[in-house]
Amino acid sequence: MCGIVAYIGDGEVGSILFDTLKRLEYRGYDSAGVAIKSGDEIVVVKAAGKIGNLEKVYREMGSPGESMGIGHTRWATHGSPTDINAHPHISGEIAIVHNGIIENYLELRESLTEKGFEFQSETDSEVLAHLINYFYQGDLIMAVTRALDEVEGSYAIAVLAASSPYIICARKDSPLVIGLGKLANYLASDVPALLPYTRDIVRLKDGEIAKLSKETVEIKNRFGELHPADVERIDWNIDAAEKGGYSHFMLKEIHEQPRALRETMAGRISEFGGDVRLDLGIDDEEIRNLERVSIIACGTSYHAGLFAKYLLPIVSGLPVEVELASEFQHLQLRPRTLVVGITQSGETADTLLALKKAKMCNVRLLAITNVVGSTVTNLVDSTIFTRCGPEIGVAATKTFTSQLVTLILLAICLGRARGFLTPEQGRKILIELSRLPALVQKVLDRRDSIKEIAELYADSSCYFFIGREFLYPIALEGALKMKEIAYIHSEGYAGGELKHGPLALITDFTPVVAIATFGRKIQSNIKEVRARGAEVIALASENDADIDKIANVVIRLPDTRPELSAVLCTVVVQLFSYYVAHKLGQPIDKPRNLAKCVTVE
């Protein structure tokens, strides 16, 4: 997730761009840049690091520029966080900033290189600058329209040309907001950046393209027809606006999951071939010779690892062992093991140390992380990025579901390369996987009834979460969320384990969240706890006709494959814990004693 901004008007362009960029820093930053019109030229200043440092460089240059400019704060997804990869990207007299992923950038890059364009960066975004330059003959909106016709993927862009008096912007599957000022207009990825300047905003819709001058904003729809701007008056304060109107970052991040999952999958799926493209840097022969996978992780990422323990054997044919990083004993590693470190931050000390130990065994190391340029990426042989944008709430939410989806992609990729999974079997999983973001949205749309149920049980002093197979790690995750943010003692258990001890703790009214979207055996576990007085809140699939007879409360979820229903159930346990914590008035985004990133052993 990156942030883009633009300004056109008589104000001090540089100051306005830097101020609005800083207000988007919560979207992540590893590099930033601005392009500002100065006479007949465009001045570009960009660098890796914080926006404040970049502003200093700009001031030292004498704050050049007037009338209009564009800016970008980057959270790397393609190419490492360096000065060259920072936006804006330039081609001739064109400057662009881009947020999103251009899926067909490799093909476009090849054809533009043949046409004589020289690429400076490793980013997918640079192809847009060259494409627009290729089509530009004095009409910037026409050039942008033609370039976007060639592009597959998601984008929010702002474009300047040295010889054009306008800023052009467009969006598809990436947010973009226009701010309407007095003899000035603004652009940003999100509303909070604009609130000090204006409260009249226009949310650009998918497929729309707009032309901004200081006096006017012209918006064309996907068919090229002009239409009046739909102006919205914002009455939130800045703090609420940064959270997009949500009361906490955690809730915002829970709601970002459909988009996050789309980004995780973007450009990686070949439904037709039933295959997945992941740049693992391992040749097919080595993949065929693998004998096992060993996963190392902590906390929520460890739960993602446990999910893989159920998934990989049936999809890739490889057995999996999962180790808590802090307990990892490297002597267990045998040759032909693929070691996978899962860490959203890429900085968890326990995970890094365990991976260093694993490295001494001469095995292949792979990381799954959300943070480009993080320490883990320098330690391992290859990395898969989950691409879900920065997560600010201490409780991991969207990064966890993106890890689950990444592991499904990895399992298919390994299974196909090893000849364990047929194209038809791969295709079946992938078709259903493509529906997943929409199914997650359906679960989010039921938030009000989940809230009502959570508030009903909010005064309980102890919770149980139970599940089996793919859903067992989700039970652990639900219990962890409840402990972390609501400060209520919770136990996550495999359904079959209850009778081996924990049943003794079940008394009248103990809430048991039974994650039961598939499998019959969990129903026996529900009956066991009901017989001891528990109140069962069951998560069940839409077509489960029996569950109402045995559970006290049922939360229905769309029907899908078992491994994908784990993702849907995760969203429910996240919302459930969130609403319990909210009812209790806990500081959800910053729970006591916890840090987002644990850099001590």
Task: Please say which residue, 174 or 345, places its beta carbon nearer to ligand M6R.
Answer: 345
Contact 113, 40 (CB under 8 A): no
Q: Which of 2, 169, 298, 569 is catalytic?
A: 2
What are residue 172's DSSP bridge partners? 155
**What is the DSSP-derived secondary structure letter of residue 137?**
S
Rounded CA-CA distance 436/444 in Å is 12
**Angle, helix 398-417 to helix 299-316, in steps of 10 degrees:** 30
In 401-457 the beta strands, taken as DSSP E runs, fall at: none
Q: Does 598 bind ligand M6R (CB under 6 A)?
A: yes
Q: Which is nearer to ligand M6R, 145 or 406 (CB)?
A: 406
CA distance 328 to 350: 9
Q: How crowded is the C-beta side of 311, counted as CA atoms within 13 Å?
A: 32
Nearer to ligand M6R, 91 or 370 (CB): 370
Q: How many whole angstroms separate alpha carbon 139 and alpha carbon 169?
A: 14
State the Cα–Cα distance between residues 388 and 358, nearest whole angstrom: 27
Give the amino acid at 173: D
d(CA 423, CA 412): 10
Please work out the total of residues on this chain that contact ligand M6R, with binding judged by CB under 6 A.
Answer: 15
Q: Would you say 57 or 595 has its CB closer to ligand M6R?
A: 595
By CB under 6 A, is residue 351 in contact with ligand M6R? yes
- State which residue, 19 or 484, has the beta carbon closest to ligand M6R: 484
Q: Residue 505 contacts by C-beta under 8 Å, 6 or more apart in sequence? A: 462, 464, 491
The pattern of x and - marking residues 14 through 53 that bind ligand M6R according to CB under 6 A reads ----------------------------------------
CA–CA dist 167, 179 (Å, integer): 13
Residue 248: CB minimum distance to ligand M6R, A: 14
Instruction: Give the nearest distance from C-beta 255 to ligand M6R in angstroms.
Output: 17
Smallest distance from ligand M6R to CB 445, Å: 24
Closest to ligand M6R by CB, 353 or 456: 353
Task: Classify 489 as helix, strand or coil.
Answer: strand
Closest distance of CB 474 from ligand M6R, Å:
13
596 catalytic per annotation: yes
Under 8 Å between Cβ of 559 and 518: no
The CB-of-480 to ligand M6R minimum distance in angstroms stands at 6
Tell me whether residue 263 or residue 484 sits nearer to ligand M6R (CB atom).
484
Here's the x/- map for ligand M6R, 49-88, by CB under 6 A: it reads as ----------------------------------------
Exposure string of 285-299, with b = 16+ CB inside 10 Å and e = fewer, is eebeebebbbbbbbb
Of the two residues 205 and 590, which places its CB atom closer to ligand M6R in the complex? Answer: 590
Residue 305 interacting with ligand M6R (CB under 6 A): no
Q: Is 574 in the site for ligand M6R (CB under 6 A)?
A: no
Q: How far is the CB of 235 from ligand M6R (least distance, A)?
A: 33
Q: Output the CA–CA distances (angstroms, integers) from residue 539 to 485, 502, 546, 558, in the order listed.
A: 21, 21, 12, 11
- Distance (Å, rounded) from C-alpha 53 to C-alpha 42? 20
Give the contact letters, 264-303, x = binds to ligand M6R (CB under 6 A), - = no: ----------------------------------xxxx--
| Shortest distance in whole angstroms from residue 73 CB to ligand M6R | 22
User: What one-letter code names the amino acid at 137?
Assistant: Q
CB of 393: closest distance to ligand M6R in angstroms? 8
**Residue 510 found at the interface with ligand M6R (CB under 6 A):** no
Q: Which residue number has the CB closest to ligand M6R?
A: 299
CB 210 within 8 A of CB 178: yes
Contact predicate 168/144, CB 8 Å: yes
Minimum Å gap between C-beta 208 and ligand M6R is: 37
Catalytic option among 220, 357, 359, 596? 596
Strands (E), 51-133: 68-74, 89-91, 94-99
Write each residue from 578 to 597 as x if it is in contact with ligand M6R (CB under 6 A), else as -, in one continuous string. -------------------x
What is the chain's Cα-based Rg?
Answer: 25
Residues 391-430: x/- map of binding to ligand M6R (CB under 6 A)?
Answer: ---xxx----------------------------------
* Calpha distance 215→486 (Å, rounded): 50
Largest pairwise CA distance in the chain = 80
> Which x/- pattern over 318-347 shows residues binding ligand M6R (rule: CB under 6 A)?
-------------------------xxx--
Among 91, 133, 348, 517, binds ligand M6R (CB under 6 A): 348
**Tokens standing for residue 328:** 């990892």
Among 124, 263, 323, 484, binds ligand M6R (CB under 6 A): 484
What residue type is 361 in one-letter code? C
Applying CB under 6 A, which residues contact ligand M6R?
298-301, 343-345, 348, 351, 394-396, 484, 597-598
Question: Active-site residues: which are they?
Answer: 2, 596
